[in-house]
Structure 1
Amino acid sequence: MFKPAGTFTALITPFRGDEVDFEALRQNVKAQADAGITGVVPCGTTGESPTLSHAEHREVIERTIAAAAGTGMTVMAGTGSNATKEAIDLTRAAKESGADASLLVNPYYNKPSQEGLYAHVMAVADAVEIPIVLYNIPGRTGVTMLPETIERLAAHPHVVADKEATGSLDVASEIRHRCGDGFAVLSGDDSLTLPLMSVGGTGVVSVLSNLFPAEVKRLVDAAAAGDFAGALAQHVKLFPLFRAVLSMAVNPVVIKTAMRQAGLDTGGLRLPLTGMSPPAEAELQRIVGETRSRLG
C-alpha cells in the first residue's frame, strides 16, 4: 500500500480568462518532474479546487496524471467535498483515471461532529479502493479531525496518511503515537516541515515548491536522511518566504504572484480570489529576491 514520503507539490491551477489552461498545467507538471519532486497534488487548496466545476475538477486530475506519466512522480488527487456522495464520485473518478492516492479534505462549511467525520471518510474508503490521505486543515474547513478519530480511521486499510495542517506539533506527535510507524504524517505547512519531520513526519505537501521545487526537496531529503543540521540550514534560508506565502494573502494568491514575477505561467486567479496590492507585490518581490540570494 502507498505510504507517502518525500516532497509533494500542491499544484496551482492555471486559468486563462474563464478557462483552465491545460497547456500551462502540463508545463508546470513537467517543471516539477525536472526538479525531481516525489509527487504532485492537483485540486487541493492551492489549486483553487472550490472554484472548479465538477467537470473541470475531473479533467485537471486526468491531465495531471497524463502529464506525470513516465516521470516517476506519483499523483495524489484532491477529491474531498463537503458532500459525501460527491467525494465518493470524485475519488472514484480519480481512481479510474489512474491516480496513485486521494487527498481527502475534511468536509467544510457544514462542520460535522467527530462521528460525522469518521463516517464520511469510512464511506469513501469503503467505496473506492485507493490509498487515502486525510487532510486536516481547520483554518479552511472550520472543523478539526482529532487524533483519536484519525486513529480509528487508520485501522482501515485504505487510510494511509494524514496531511497535517493544524499548525500543532502536539497534534502531529499524538497522531504518530496513536497510529504508529505504518501511518504516514505529512506537513501541510511549509514552515513546519522540518519540526514535523523531527517528530516522525515523512515529508510535505508544499506550496513553495511550485516556485522552488529543488530547494524544498533538499530540505526534506536532508531531514529524511537524518541530516537535521543540513535541513535546518535550508529551513532558515527559506523560512521568511515560507511564512510570506501563507501570511501575506490567502493561498494561492501569494504563490501565484511570486511565480508570475519569476516568469512562470500561472494564469490568473479565479473569483472570488483577487490579486495583491502593488505595495504588497513589491514587498513579496523583495522577499523572493533575498531568498534567492541566501540560496546562492
Structure 2
Amino acid sequence: MFSGSIPALVTTFRDGSLDEQAFRSFVDWQIAEGSTALVPCGTTGESATMTIEEHNRVVALCVEQAAGRVPVIAGCGSNDTKIALEHMFAAQAAGANAALVVAPYYNKPNQEGVYQHFAYLAQRCDLPIILYNVPSRTITDIGVPVMHRLANDFQTIVGVKDATGNLGRVTAQRLACGTDFCQLSGNDETALGFNAMGGVGCISVTANVAPGLCAQFQAACAAGDWPLALELQDRLYPLHDALFSDSSPGPVKYALSRVRPDMPVELRLPITWPSASSQAAVDRALEIAGLV
C-alpha cells in the first residue's frame, strides 16, 4: 500500500503559529522531488506540542495540498486511546489515506494493553492503521506476538513503521504478519539493510532535507540495484547521523535553513536550536551529500 521515500514532515512555524503558505510550498517541493507519500504530525512534525486544532489543521492542509498526487499518512498517535481515535476520525474526514499510530507512551501498558489500544481504534474507525514502534521514545515495545495478533485480527492494520533499530525484527515480523504486511523503516541509517530484509521503504527524517536523494535511494532498493543503493547510502549516512546529533527536530530544521532558506524553521519548546557542534556536523554532512 505504501512504499518508497516518505518524509515525516517538519511543521513550519512562524511567530509561534503555523505558516500555512510555507507548509503548502514544502509539500509541493517534497512531491516534486520524488517523495512517494507524506506523514504530517509525526514526531519530526512536533505533534507533541500542537493543540488538537493545529494538529487537525496540518493534516487537512497536507491532504488538500497533496491533492491526491501522493498518499497522506496522518500522525494520529496519543497515550490516550480516545484522543488517538479522535485524531483518526479527523484525519479520515480530511481525506487522509492512513493513520500512523504510535505505541502508547508514558503510561507503560503491558502487552495486552498495547493490543487493546490498537484493537479499540481498529474496531471503531476503518481508516488503515500503520503501527509506529519506537521504544526509545515511548518505552513501550509493540512485541512481535502482539503485532501478529493485530495483523491477523484486523484487516485495517496494514503495516508498521519500525524504529526499533533491530533489523532482525524485519524478518520476525514478516514471518509473523505475512508478506503483504507493509514494513517501513523508521530509521534512515539502517534503511538499506531493512529493505534488503523485506522492507519496502522508509518514513524518513532525512527526506525533509534531501528528498531527491532519499527518493533515488529508495528507488534503487526497489529495483534491486544494491550497488547504487550502497553508493547513495554512503553519501547520505553522515547526514542521517548528524540530524540526530542533538534533540530532533532541531538539527533537521537547522539543515532545512541551509537547504531552503525561504522556509520558516522555528522550534517549539522544549526543543531548542541545536548546539554549535551539532550545526557543524550538519554543515559537514550537507557538503558530503552535495546539498550545499
Considering the TM-score relative to the shorter chain, is it more than 0.5?
A: yes
Shift in Å, 1:196? 0.3
Q: Deviations over 1:2-60 (max 9, x none)?
A: x2111111000011122111111111101011112111100000000000001100001
Letter in 1 for 2:248: N
The aligned counterpart of 2:249 is 252
Letter in 2 for 1:190: D
The aligned counterpart of 2:151 is 154
The answer as to 2:112 corresponding to 1:115 is yes
How far apart, in 1, do the equivalents of 2:285 and 2:94 lie? 39
Q: Gaps (5+ residues) in structure 1?
A: none
Shift in Å, 1:290? 2.0
Deviation larger for 30-39 or 42-51: 30-39
Q: Deviations over 1:244-271 (max 9, x none)?
A: 112x112111111000122240330001
How far apart, in 2, do the equivalents of 1:95 and 1:136 lie? 22
The aligned counterpart of 1:98 is 95
Letter in 1 for 2:93: E
**SS of 1:160 mapped into structure 2:** strand
TM normalised by structure 1 equals 0.95
The aligned counterpart of 1:175 is 173
Q: Could you say what the CA RMSD is over the residues aligned between the two structures, in angstroms?
A: 1.3
The aligned counterpart of 1:289 is 287
Residue 205 of structure 1 is aligned with which of 203, 219, 238? 203
**SS of 1:204 mapped into structure 2:** strand
**SS of 2:7 mapped into structure 1:** strand
**SS of 1:192 mapped into structure 2:** helix
How far apart, in 2, do the equivalents of 1:134 and 1:264 lie? 34
**SS of 2:290 mapped into structure 1:** helix
CA contact (8 A) 2:248 2:271 kept: no
TM normalised by structure 2 equals 0.97
The aligned counterpart of 1:272 is 270
Paired residues, number: 290
Q: Deviations over 1:79-118 (max 9, x none)?
A: 0100000000100110011000000001111111110010
The aligned counterpart of 1:59 is 57
The aligned counterpart of 2:36 is 38
How far apart, in 1, do the equivalents of 2:170 and 2:82 lie? 29
Letter in 2 for 1:14: T
How far apart, in 1, do the equivalents of 2:277 and 2:227 lie? 36
**SS of 2:238 mapped into structure 1:** helix
CA contact (8 A) 1:21 1:267 kept: no
How far apart, in 2, do the equivalents of 1:277 and 1:183 lie? 40
How far apart, in 2, do the equivalents of 1:92 and 1:195 lie? 35
How far apart, in 2, do the equivalents of 1:171 and 1:33 lie? 30
Identity of aligned residues (%): 39
Q: Which consecutive segments of 4 or more residues in structure 1 shift more than 6 A? A: none
How far apart, in 2, do the equivalents of 1:7 and 1:241 lie? 16
Q: Gaps (5+ residues) in structure 2?
A: none
Shift in Å, 1:229? 1.4
CA contact (8 A) 2:132 2:163 kept: yes
Residue 82 of structure 1 is aligned with which of 69, 79, 83? 79
How far apart, in 1, do the equivalents of 2:262 and 2:193 lie? 30
How far apart, in 1, do the equivalents of 2:10 and 2:278 lie? 20
Q: Deviations over 1:141-167 (max 9, x none)?
A: 111111111111111100000000000
